[in-house]
């Protein structure tokens, strides 16, 4: 794969630009320059225009208030239903994430109907894109970033609210899609209304400042591997996501986890209550049906003891019973996390030998070279900061027991001291882990998408406060 020019200079150039020899401007930097120095006439709101005027250095006194004429101009436009795209993290296969599409589509239809009564039927599977990982055993797609970029361009060009959920390494793949756009369609970035772009950074990989951040990212990846160890408390939580303890409400179980593992919970660092926690809807997937009869009996006994430990607020008993559950159910849980036992139809692919699998992984690693650059070279932060300045809405989401990110620190990193009111919103998934999305997407990913859409449609209602939008 041809190398794509980096978005930002090297670390040395960033530290002391004056001592660095001038380098030819990369295609992407040219595009970023255009964002800073052009005010696209296509953007109908004075707010968006003024944002870009500030970026270009124009300090003329322009009103921040949107006029009635501008409102009428937007109302007159045909409103097309929104789109949602999910960019998967490391190793996610089409088979392993196929549970997510329906969950996201249902949430999108539900929230769109609430905001636009009678129009929910406009949402179909065509409004949702679920992308596998560039690094997986799926056969590599040489047109990957082209397809991602083309979908993003089409959605924004049509004036649709465009939500992207960037999970783990998906944040780096999204930058890859932007790089393709910058190289092949440079005028698009200059002329685009980014206020229609809604970015949810879901436990992203590689958004940091300084060389230390790269080391922290490598450390987080090592910690993530350790969570699969049978002695890891994270494994017990992962298993409980696939097989929720019987006879215990989810709310009680979430509190029990916080009692047993306070040092692992994101609530420990949330002293100012910055995290808005998602609701936990009723469980819609029952995997207990796949257990053997003897294991069903065994886990029922363990859960009875676990419930007693929770009632007595005994953290040692809670830990011990969760460890027992992990040992008993891990073989089943592993199958589920690989994409087996989903209700959705299996994606039929030819079986491969171990040699073929190793070859596919190798091809994926080679093809994902630019993705790894975006993860470890510190490029992403500047891209997302600039998108925010250009009008894009950025939020942060994280599962409660995430070894990969501290969402509060990430929000601080992307916040401007001059504009504290524009700091990214932070959403949390109670009782979730970094890998907990595919088995129960309705309770995890679906609710994060719901939070993002509610925020989008709330802003939409604020803009058109005199309309009949519910």
**Domains along the chain?**
28-218+353-463 (3.40.50)
Q: pTM score, two decimals?
A: 0.78
Determine what percent of the chain is predicted with pLDDT higher than 90: 49
Q: What is the mean pLDDT of residues 208-221?
A: 80
Give the pLDDT of residue 466: 33
Res 10 pLDDT > 80? no
Res 41 pLDDT > 80? no
Q: What is the mean pLDDT of residues 268-290?
A: 90
Spatial separation of the C-alpha atoms in residues 449 and 442, rounded to whole Å: 10
Give the pLDDT of residue 180: 93
320-370 pLDDT tens trace: 999 999 999 999 999 998 889 998 888 765 444 555 555 555 554 455 567
Res 33 pLDDT > 60? no
Give the pLDDT of residue 353: 54
- In this structure, of 107-116, 300-309, 340-349, the range with the lowest mean pLDDT score is 340-349
Res 65 pLDDT > 60? no
Give the pLDDT of residue 368: 59
Looking at every residue in the chain, the average pLDDT score rounds to 79
More confident residue, 37 or 215: 215
71 falls in which pLDDT band (50, 70, 90)? very low
Give the pLDDT of residue 52: 36
Give the pLDDT of residue 331: 95
* Mean pLDDT comparison of 17-26, 179-188, 261-270, 314-323, highest-scoring range: 314-323
Q: What is the mean pLDDT of residues 40-68?
A: 39
218-263 pLDDT tens trace: 887 888 888 888 889 999 999 999 999 999 999 999 999 999 999 9
Give the pLDDT of residue 76: 37
């Amino acid at each position: 794969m041809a190398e794509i020019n980096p978005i930002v200079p090297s670390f040395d150039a960033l530290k002391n630009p004056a001592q660095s020899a001038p380098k030819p401007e990369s295609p992407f930097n040219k595009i970023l320059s255009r964002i800073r120095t052009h005010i696209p006439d296509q953007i109908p709101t004075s707010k968006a225009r003024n944002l870009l005027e500030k970026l270009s250095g124009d300090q003329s006194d322009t009103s921040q208030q949107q006029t009635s004429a501008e409102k009428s101009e937007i109302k007159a436009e045909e409103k097309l239903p929104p789109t949602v795209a999910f960019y998967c993290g490391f190793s996610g296969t089409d088979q392993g994430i196929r549970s997510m599409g329906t969950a996201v589509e249902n949430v999108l239809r539900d929230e769109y109907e609430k905001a636009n009564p009678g129009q929910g039927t406009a949402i179909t599977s065509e409004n949702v894109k679920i992308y596998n990982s560039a690094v997986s055993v799926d056969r590599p797609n040489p047109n990957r970033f082209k397809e991602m970029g083309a979908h993003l361009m089409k959605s924004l060009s049509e004036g649709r609210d465009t939500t992207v959920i960037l999970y783990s390494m998906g944040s780096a793949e999204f930058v890859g899609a932007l790089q393709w756009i910058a190289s092949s369609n440079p005028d698009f970035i200059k002329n685009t209304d980014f206020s229609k772009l809604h970015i949810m950074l879901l436990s992203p990989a590689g958004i940091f400042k300084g060389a230390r951040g790269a080391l922290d990212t490598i450390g987080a990846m090592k910690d993530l591997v350790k969570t699969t160890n049978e002695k890891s408390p994270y494994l017990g939580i992962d298993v409980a996501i696939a097989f929720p303890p019987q006879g215990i409400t989810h709310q009680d179980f979430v509190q029990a986890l916080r009692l047993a593992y306070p040092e692992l919970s994101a609530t420990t660092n949330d002293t100012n209550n910055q995290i808005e926690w998602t609701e936990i809807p009723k469980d819609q997937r029952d995997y207990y049906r796949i257990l053997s009869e003897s294991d069903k009996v065994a886990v029922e006994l363990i859960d009875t003891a676990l419930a007693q430990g929770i009632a007595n607020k005994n953290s040692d008993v809670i830990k011990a019973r969760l460890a027992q559950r992990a040992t008993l159910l891990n073989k089943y849980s592993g199958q589920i996390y690989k994409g087996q036992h989903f209700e959705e139809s299996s994606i039929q692919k030819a079986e491969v030998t171990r040699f073929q699998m190793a070859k596919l992984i190798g091809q994926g690693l080679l093809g994902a070279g630019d993705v790894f650059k975006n993860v470890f070279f510190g490029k992403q932060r500047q891209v997302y900061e600039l998108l925010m300045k250009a009008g894009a809405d950025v939020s942060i989401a994280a599962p409660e027991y995430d070894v990969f990110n501290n969402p509060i620190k990430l929000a601080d990193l992307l916040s401007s001291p001059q504009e504290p009111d524009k700091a990214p919103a932070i959403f949390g998934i109670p009782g979730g882990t970094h890998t907990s999305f595919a088995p129960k997407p309705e309770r995890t990913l679906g609710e994060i998408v719901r939070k993002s859409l509610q925020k989008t449609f709330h802003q939409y209602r604020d803009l058109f406060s005199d309309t009949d939008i519910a």
